[in-house]
Structure 1
């Protein structure tokens, strides 16, 4: 395969992301373009600097197509649980038809740390947990003794209400 150069490669990457039905890993984009994964990371940063709505998630890169006809509701929730309960928390959220957009922790030195998750279904959660296990990574909530925030999103307020209700019943929701 011919190596794609500079602007041609970035245009090709944009086209791939816009037409994808799900996330594409940096490794897959690198193979497609016949470049290193680091070149892809740099390309994604350049594209984001041009205000392209590209999101780096734990599953890969996503181009956020804003459908003007679909209204999504978002809510920020505060949760606390152990690392062993993380899978149940994530599944509880996605099983309500809610997308788990990110995780946010308050670090004593760095301040607020936000990491994109973009988990919308059980397969997304399974893939996320597999990556955590394969890399032996810790959850960000380990920095804050289990306390963290999530931004959750759904097409209806009722789904967000249901997710909160289920999390509250399981003791994962912190309320003030």
Structure 2
């Protein structure tokens, strides 16, 4: 907003939804804060309110994304079980995106909390690089470290053959958890 006017409440949340719906790329909280002349924390609160209203917004390491739930639109999804060390995470993600997959999330089964899921949303090497940089910058642990490397990924692709090829490559690389 060039006028410097602080956008208030519902008007701001409507604008946030509009920005997210119009963008195919993630938008950071800081970018949304600048556009509406409020703090990033206000944006975080607004996103929480919008999610509570069942708006399909996800937080990724690159920013917020609006993901409308409209059928599968020709996209095929699969959950795959993987196993590797933290040092191999980047290689695993690159292998998946190099095969044309989007890695939507990571899931683990925690002994106390049950199923834990975190959004990843990477589709290319640049996004993997940004995700890994964020992990390093924050010194964050991978969820899979809580389960000695065992985890699930929800992945999507344009067809099932692409999913099959990626799964075969994971097996060859030693990242696929054998049954």
**What range describes the TM-score normalised by the shorter chain of this pair?**
over 0.9
Alignment match, 2:85: 82
Whether 1:98 aligns to 2:80 is: no
Tell me how many residue pairs correspond in the alignment.
Answer: 176
Alignment match, 2:177: 174
Could you give the per-residue CA deviations for residues 116-155 of structure 1, whole angstroms, max 9, x where no partner exists? 1111111110110110111111111111111111011111
Asked if the contact 1:78–1:174 (Cα under 8 Å) also holds between the matched residues in 2, the reply is yes
- Give SS of 2:78's match: strand
- Give SS of 1:56's match: strand
Alignment match, 2:65: 62
* Alignment map for 1:13-162 (pairs within 5 Å): 13-66=16-69, 70-162=73-165
How far residue 69 of structure 1 moved from its aligned partner, in angstroms, is 8.0
Normalised TM-score (structure 1)? 0.95
Runs of 4+ aligned structure 1 residues displaced above 6 Å come to none
Alignment match, 2:11: 8
Normalised TM-score (structure 2)? 0.94
Distance in 1 of aligned mates of 2:143 and 2:30: 24
How far residue 26 of structure 1 moved from its aligned partner, in angstroms, is 1.0
Distance in 1 of aligned mates of 2:59 and 2:72: 24
Asked if the contact 1:70–1:155 (Cα under 8 Å) also holds between the matched residues in 2, the reply is no
How far residue 65 of structure 1 moved from its aligned partner, in angstroms, is 3.9
Distance in 2 of aligned mates of 1:138 and 1:43: 27
Alignment match, 1:165: 168
Residue segments in structure 2 that go unaligned for 5+ positions in a row:
none
How far residue 47 of structure 1 moved from its aligned partner, in angstroms, is 1.2
